[in-house]
Structure formats: structure tokens, C-alpha cells
């Protein structure tokens, strides 16, 4: 059981926020395979305050995907607070603040990971947002801006301040902002955070690519939970497998080709509900890499799925390789 404020999750792992991936379609699929919580990809605070954008389909969670968290990016405490309130009002169950994003355009605008240079700004944003919502509030960090002692000190200052402000969870990706995705994530620092703040809820992230790693990280780090990010792209079965292992059952047999094909089609149909046809086909390509990985003829399957130019071609490719559709 994992508690994030008033949200009780029956397993201590869930779907990580993934910009460009965790839209409603991926969230629904992840939930159907046992993710007890999912997130949006990071959303700029201003979007929540822009009336036209906020009416769009992608903005609102639907009942069948609850609970779902909205992750917000921004730098101004008042705007972040107003955005958080707006997301909570349209039905998101949890608000997560992004102080981790390493994308250059985000850093240039002094948002996301940049704010790890400014512990006071981070704490002020947390205070404003906390006062604007009544649902659970979590934050996402990396282990500092870079590997300098100054950055490490600021990282600890942020953890301490966030715990003092009573955030409901701190998720930490075990790499500095400057590291982007290089090298392996450092789980020892994450374990140290839990040792320093034993009463806080600390969630770990980094290189969790299969169900065995989910369980290994939970058992060896002492953390309260783990998020599954790249490991869930085109692989919702990871949630089912991790559930089985966590409950002491053997890892289930991999999905049959029929089941894989059905999930690919279902995922695409959900994408098509929120995107026009041409865009949906282009957008869906990146998922086919993950989905085809379980097929014995992986390379040819991937090539066929990626080359589909419209719905009919995608369905024909799935029929050819998976026998469904
Ligand atoms: C394509 C992509 C998009 C991501 N988008 C977000 C995001 O919107 N918000 C966030 O907090 N982290 C984001 N992340 C970071 C992941 O949530 C996670 O912390 C990171 O990938 C490390 O976990 P992994 O090595 O198991 O993938 C993203 C990562 C990737 C690869």
C-alpha cells in the first residue's frame, strides 16, 4: 500500500509522467493493466489558465482513468497556484510540480530543472500551490542541477523544505539535471533521502525497464514507491508482471500475439479519439517500437507498423503479424 495524501494505492509503483506519451490513451491502457495511478506529461502552467486550451479534450481526465495526476511546469508561484487549482477543479486527483525537466528550452526559461538552483523559489511555489488546492501535492526532482557540492547542498535544502511544507510525496530521478539521461541513475542517493526523512513519502525513478527491476528497487532502496517511465512505453504488461511479483506470484506468461495485437489496436483507437487521423498515425509510430519488441519477428513487425500511412494500413499490418483486426 502506498499513500499519497488521501490517495491510497494498492501497489507501490505506477505510471510516470512522460511528455509526448502519457496522454489519455496511454493512461487508459496503463490502468487497464494495473497501474494504480497515472500522470499527464508535463503541462505548462499557462495552459490551465488559457480558456480555449483548457476546453480541449486532452485537458480533462475522464472517470474511467481516475486517479490521474496533473504535472505542472512553471516558475511564478501565483500562476502555478492558479494552474494547480484549475487542474484540480476539472477533476485531476493529484497535482505534481515539475522541478526536474532538463530540456534546454525549459532551462532557458528558468523553469523545471533550472529551479533546483533556487531552493527558495521552489519552496515558495510549493507554499502557494499547497494553499490553492485540497488534493494531494507531490513534487518531482532530480538529484541536483549538476554534480557540484553547491548543487548537492541545494538538493538537500529543497528536500528539507518540501518535507517541512508537508508535500505528500517527493519523486526523485537519480540523475542531475545536467546529466540528462547519461550513465546509470544513482539509487544510493535516493535511499539516503529516505534515511534522512523516514516519515516522508519518497518515490524513486531511473532505469526501471522491467518488472524484476521494479521489485528489486523497492526491496533494496527502502523507498516508498517506484515510478515506471520508459519501461512502460509499448509495454503496459510491465504493471501486471510487477503486480504478480510484488504479490509473491510467478511472473505471468507473456501476452499472446493476439492480446498484443488487440492492445496495439485499442491504444491506436484511443489516440485517434483525441487526434485527427494523420496526426494520430504519425504520433502512434513511437509506440510501435515498444509494442513490436515482444514479437519474434520484431524488426519486420516494427518496420511494417512504422510505415503504415493510415488506419487501414496499420490495421492490415496488425492483422498480418498478430492475426487480429
Ligand atoms: C520521453 C520522455 C518524456 C518524459 N517526460 C517527463 C515529464 O513530462 N515529466 C517528468 O516529470 N518526467 C518526465 N520524464 C522523466 C521520467 O518520468 C523518468 O523520471 C525518467 O525517464 C527516468 O526513468 P526511466 O529511466 O525508468 O525511464 C520523461 C522521460 C522521457 C524518456
| Tens digit of each residue's pLDDT (9 = 90 or more) over 19-41 | 999 999 999 999 999 999 999 99
Residue 25 to residue 65: CA distance in whole angstroms: 10
CA of 173 to the centre of ligand 1 (A): 8
Residue ranges of domains in the chain: 2-246, 257-322
**pLDDT tens-digit readout, 240-279:** 999 999 999 999 999 999 999 999 999 999 999 988 888 9
- Asked if 136 contacts 7 with a C-beta cutoff of 8 angstroms, the reply is yes
- Report the nearest atom of ligand 1 relative to the CA of 96: 11
Print burial letters for 261-270: b (CB count within 10 Å at least 16), e (below 16).
Answer: bbbbbebbeb
pLDDT-derived band at 47 (thresholds 50, 70, 90) equals confident
Identify the burial level of 210 via C-beta atoms within 10 angstroms of its C-beta, where 0-12 means exposed, 13-18 middle and 19 or more buried.
middle
Residue nearest (by alpha carbon) to ligand 1 atom 16: 229
pLDDT-derived band at 307 (thresholds 50, 70, 90) equals very high
Task: State the DSSP code for 21.
Answer: T
CA of 230 to the centre of ligand 1 (A): 7
Residue nearest (by alpha carbon) to ligand 1 atom 21: 229
Indicate the CATH number of 2-246 among 3.10.129.10, 3.20.20.70, 2.130.10.10, 3.90.45.10: 3.20.20.70
Residue 269 to residue 154: CA distance in whole angstroms: 45
**pLDDT tens-digit readout, 138-184:** 999 999 999 999 999 999 999 999 999 999 999 999 999 999 999 89
**pLDDT tens-digit readout, 103-124:** 999 999 999 999 999 999 999 9
Walk across the sheet containing 225-228 and list its strands: 13-15, 225-228, 202-205, 169-173, 137-142, 94-99, 68-73, 38-44
CA-based Rg of the chain, rounded to a whole angstrom?
A: 20
CA of 42 to the centre of ligand 1 (A): 10
Amino acid at each position: 500500500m502506498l499513500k499519497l495524501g488521501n490517495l491510497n494505492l494498492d501497489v507501490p509503483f505506477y505510471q510516470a509522467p512522460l511528455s509526448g506519451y502519457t496522454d489519455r490513451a496511454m493512461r487508459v491502457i496503463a490502468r487497464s493493466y494495473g497501474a494504480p495511478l497515472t500522470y499527464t506529461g508535463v503541462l505548462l502552467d499557462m495552459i490551465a489558465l488559457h480558456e480555449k486550451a483548457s476546453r480541449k479534450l486532452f485537458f480533462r481526465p475522464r472517470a474511467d482513468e481516475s486517479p490521474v495526476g496533473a504535472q505542472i511546469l512553471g516558475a511564478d508561484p501565483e500562476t502555478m497556484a492558479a494552474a494547480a487549482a484549475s487542474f484540480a477543479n476539472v477533476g485531476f486527483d493529484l497535482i505534481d510540480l515539475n522541478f526536474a525537466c532538463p530540456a534546454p528550452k525549459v532551462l532557458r526559461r528558468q523553469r523545471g530543472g533550472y529551479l533546483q538552483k533556487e531552493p527558495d523559489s521552489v519552496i515558495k511555489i510549493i507554499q502557494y500551490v499547497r494553499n490553492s488546492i485540497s488534493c494531494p501535492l507531490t513534487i518531482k526532482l532530480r538529484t541536483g542541477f549538476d554534480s557540484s557540492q553547491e548543487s548537492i547542498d541545494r538538493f538537500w535544502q529543497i528536500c528539507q523544505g518540501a518535507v517541512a511544507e508537508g508535500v505528500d510525496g517527493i519523486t526523485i530521478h537519480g540523475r542531475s539535471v545536467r546529466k540528462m539521461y547519461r550513465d546509470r541513475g544513482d539509487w544510493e542517493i535516493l535511499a539516503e533521502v529516505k534515511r534522512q526523512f523516514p516519515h516522508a513519502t519518497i518515490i524513486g525513478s531511473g532505469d526501471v525497464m522491467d518488472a524484476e527491476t521494479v521489485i528489486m528497487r523497492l526491496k533494496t532502496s527502502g523507498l516508498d514507491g517506484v515510478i515506471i517511465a520508459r519501461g512502460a512505453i509499448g509495454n503496459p504488461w510491465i504493471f501486471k508482471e510487477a503486480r504478480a511479483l510484488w504479490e509473491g506470484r510467478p511472473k505471468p506468461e507473456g501476452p499472446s500475439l493476439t492480446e498484443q495485437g488487440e492492445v496495439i489496436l485499442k491504444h491506436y483507437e484511443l489516440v485517434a479519439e483525441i487526434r485527427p487521423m494523420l496526426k494520430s498515425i504519425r504520433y502512434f509510430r513511437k509506440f510501435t517500437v515498444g509494442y513490436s519488441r515482444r514479437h519474434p519477428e520484431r524488426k519486420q513487425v516494427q518496420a511494417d507498423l512504422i510505415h503504415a500511412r493510415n488506419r487501414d494500413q496499420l490495421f492490415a499490418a496488425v492483422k498480418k503479424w498478430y492475426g487480429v483486426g
